[in-house]
Chains A and B, each alone.
Chain A
Amino acid sequence: MSTVKAQVTERTNYLNADYGVRSWLLTTDHKRIALLYLISITFFFFIGGFYALLIRLELLTPAGDLVQADTYNKLFTMHGMVMVFFFLIPSIPAVLGNFLIPMMIGAKDLAFPRINLLSWYLYIIGGALMCHCMLTGGADTGWTFYVPFSAITNTKFVEAGLAIFVAGFSSILTGLNFVVTVHRMRAPGMTWSRLPLFVWAHYATSIIQLLGTPVIAITILLVAAERTLHLGIFDPKLGGDPLLFQHLFWFYSHPAVYIMILPAMGVISEVIACYARKRIFGYSFVAFSSIAIAVFGFLVWAHHMFVAGISLYSALVFSMLSYAVAVPSAVKVFNWTATLYKGSIHYDAPMLYAFGFIGLFTVGGLTGLFLAALGIDVHVTDTYFVVAHFHYIMVGGAVMGYLGGMHFWWPKISGKLYPEGWAKLAALIVFVGFNLTFFPQFILGYLGMPRRYWDYSHMPEFQVLNVASTAGATILGIGYLLPMVYFLWSLRYGDPAPDNPWNAAGLEWKTASPPPTFNFDSDPVVTWEAYNYDEIDAPHIQEAPVGR
């Protein structure tokens, strides 16, 4: 799509409204807080990515020859903890959600701006604890920290647990803020049926954050109590039950997957509608499928425990419910596909990320059907099949969505245009690199390679696929570095962005790029349906700018 070059004069916006460190660290502007989050999660993304690279390098050869066994165990533990709790969970909600939700519903800010800042500080305190933990030795429990192992390991589990505990409150507060904001702060005319699907997805996400996160916090406290006070909760030697831990852990950690993927689905709905120039097919089904995922997502946790020693009949129930939660995800994919039908499709970079998302998420979702089948799960659980499956969802899906969203809204966030050619190239590199990294792992998993193996010299036949995976990881790494480079480049050298470079629907595009501190110069009133691309693209109708 050709971008509309607009006259851009230096207006007062949220970036230049105030200067100095204080004005950032004490800001209550949701957009500035979003940028604080952006910088912090990018930092953790590259730490987690560095660990991933070391893991892949170790697995290049069957022998454990790059790092020691204990080091390797810490690498995958810290990779998982950093990526899950300090990158993926805050990624889209705390950056894009924070930045966009108030603007999308026509509000000046979130309902609780100071709580929003508090949640960033909690994240930073948690992050600092995590960094301290990593610098002083780290933990080796795996991100799942199963007891009794996590209760007896002599590595720094308590500190890592505390870091996650604190960061969890950041997540709870963000969720609370979003729920209240969506209920109370919508502009006149912004009815629930006119909400962008991005907002619906975040609403569903927030419910999970609010209801699920306290459970992981309690679980961490219980493990810490068991370690330090030797209370018999989970360790059978003290009279506890290790399966109780797994139930509690997955009661949060399964829905947590939806905290990561639902916001990405929201991004994809916005992007596809814009670049197909069409309202999303079956708007209300896509909206309510998010709610359905949030609800059913709480009822499937024990599908992580089919070989753990749970009863046959509870395994049956959880297997069946897992198939139920697959349906709303499938419904979304079908609706996105149908949206393309008779569209007017543009191949801009965010759309390429959206196509990539659908491809990778479909593979990830369909392999979930394998894992939900009891008889298959017994063979493939705790192997690389699972590793591949959840990376397809959490990296293929969530990170693809995050990057697509970053490109889509970058002009709004920064007021600058990124180089389109490089962005398309990066999307392609990420897609190819991702598949080369993780597809071989499905085969490895069915062959039987267990996850979290430092050394596989007992089974050298697994090397070819591991080499392919490591090669892919290198390509993927380049694909992730590229956007950071050209986004930074664009801050200085990029063309100034017009208010609405993509001719997109949505209130956030009806204000300046970058927006003023309170988002709109006058309170917007919504008189149109969501995704009214037919009206936007209709000839001779020039829309009056709103809230200027």
Chain B
Amino acid sequence: MLNNFPLWPARASSIAGNVDALFIFLLIVAGVMSLLVFVAICVFATKYRHRPGVNAAKIEGSLPLEIAWTVIPLGVFMAIFVWGAVIYFQEHTPPRDAAEVYVVAKQWMWKLEHAEGQRELNELHVPVDRDVRLIMTSQDVIHSFFVPAFRIKQDVLPGRYTVIWFRATKPGTYHLFCAEYCGTLHSGMVGNIVVMNPADYEAWVNSNPGGTLSASGEKVFNELGCATCHRMNGQGSGPALQGVFGKPVLLEDGRSVEADENYLRESIVDPGAKIVNGYRPIMPTFQGLVNEEQLNALVAYVKSLSPAAPGGAETKPSEVKVAPGNNSPVGNQVQ
């Protein structure tokens, strides 16, 4: 029991070092502040302990002191706030061209599907030094995708996508936890993130072949007869879908929304919510007709029709990433 007793979590993502740096800074701030208070209390409590015949001094207070211990902590707090906010923005700004993995959470398991088509259960294989963006949704209640070694966590909600990204920096196997209480076997909703060297990853991909997610999306698209209205030539009764993803869409009511994953998702399950300008609200809902995996595939397919958008097309070779301090390019074309 004692020979496996860590005091600091593994640091295995590009963001983890930033989080740890702020955490250590906060440990210092908290240490100094509590030391100040505790030392002052100990000194005062000893020095001014009751002695017969000696009365306490009459002291009303001190305005300069009150101002000092209001303003100085506030200044320190604001610095912490800004630092924390910067990290939060990094955590929520996925780089362009990240590899995409669709995550479906349900009581009590994680279903993960790579854009390249590999499907996994409670396990996610990723190559080291590659940006990975997770597009997550839940089939039932709220879950939370938590990888302590990466210092990332994001709740996974039913009925919408939430997104998080990471870049693993160290090969190894790391815990994946569900961090939002979700019922009986909440504590069984755990898994592994397996970070692999590029060569190992390529071998893993090759041993797990599968059609791309957008290809299965195209199949669903045709099976459901979507192409009847959403014609490529724009002559259908629904808008054409090429080049839509990632662009602003002008709506009937004059608003303009960005066609992100959540917009595509909503347009399938609740088509009346946002009607594209110039079209009639005639599309029926597909809620209940498609499951979460098919929905993800459809979204991936519509995205693949917009090759210029980030993560839009997986037919285009991914950008070659260079590991820091490593001159040999780490290839990751996994078509």
Binding site for B on A (CB under 8 A): 1, 64, 69-70, 73, 140, 142, 144, 146, 148-149, 152-153, 235-237, 242-243, 276-279, 281-285, 306-309, 312, 315-316, 319-320, 323-324, 326-327, 330-331, 333-335, 337-338, 340-347, 355, 358-359, 362-363, 366-367, 369-370, 372-379, 381-383, 443, 446-448, 450-456, 458-461, 463-464, 467, 533-534, 537-538
Contacts and interface: CB of A to CB of B under 8 A. Distances in A.
B151 A382 contact: no
A451 B153 CA distance: 14
Interface of B: 1-2, 4-9, 18-19, 22-23, 26, 29-30, 33-34, 37-38, 40-41, 44-45, 48-51, 54-62, 65-66, 69-70, 73-74, 77-78, 80-81, 83-92, 140-142, 144, 146, 148-149, 151-155, 157-160, 162, 175, 177-188, 190
A461 to B, nearest CB: 5
A467 B60 CA distance: 48
Contacts of B29: 366, 369
7 contacts: A64-B187, A243-B157, A342-B57, A343-B44, A362-B37, A378-B19, A381-B153
A375 B58 contact: no
Contacts of B18: 375
Contacts of A279: 58-60
Contact of A537 (B56, B78, B92, B155): B56
Contacts of A335: 61, 66
Contacts of B69: 330-331, 334
A184 B154 CA distance: 50
Given A345-B44, A453-B187, A455-B187, A236 B57 contact: no
Contacts of B87: 374-376, 378
A272 to B, nearest CB: 10
A362 to B, nearest CB: 5
Contact of A342 (B23, B48, B66, B149): B48
Contact of A312 (B66, B92, B160): B92
A358 B185 contact: no
Nearest to A458: B190
B192 to A, nearest CB: 9
A285 B153 contact: no
A158 to B, nearest CB: 17
A273 B208 CA distance: 72
A319 B85 contact: yes
A370 to B, nearest CB: 5
B56 A379 contact: no
A308 to B, nearest CB: 5
A369 B59 contact: no
Contacts of B54: 344
B61 A534 contact: no
A285 B71 CA distance: 14
B175 A237 contact: no
A283 B62 CA distance: 10
A463 B152 CA distance: 23
B77 A323 contact: yes
Given A307-B155, A316-B85, A375 B19 contact: yes
A334 B81 CA distance: 22
Contacts of B65: 282, 334, 338
Given A358-B37, A369-B29, A342 B85 contact: no
Contacts of A343: 44, 48, 56-57
A272 B271 CA distance: 64
Given A362-B34, A383-B179, A448-B9, A148 B41 contact: no
A378 B179 CA distance: 11
A515 B256 CA distance: 71
A313 to B, nearest CB: 10
B181 A146 contact: yes
Contact of A153 (B83, B183, B188): B183
A246 B18 CA distance: 29
Nearest to B4: A461
Contacts of B181: 73, 142, 144, 146, 149, 451-452
Contact of A456 (B44, B92, B146, B187): B187
Nearest to B88: A374
Given A323-B77, A343-B56, A454 B186 contact: yes
A279 to B, nearest CB: 7
Q: Which 8 A-B pairs have the closest CB atoms?
A: A448-B148, A375-B87, A236-B159, A373-B84, A374-B88, A282-B61, A340-B44, A342-B57
Nearest to B288: A237
Contacts of B155: 307-309
Given A307-B153, A372-B81, A446-B9, 11 more contacts: A149-B182, A152-B141, A236-B158, A326-B73, A330-B69, A331-B69, A347-B49, A378-B88, A382-B144, A382-B180, A452-B187
Contact of B175 (A369, A458, A464): A458
B22 A376 contact: yes
Contacts of A324: 74, 77
B30 A369 contact: yes
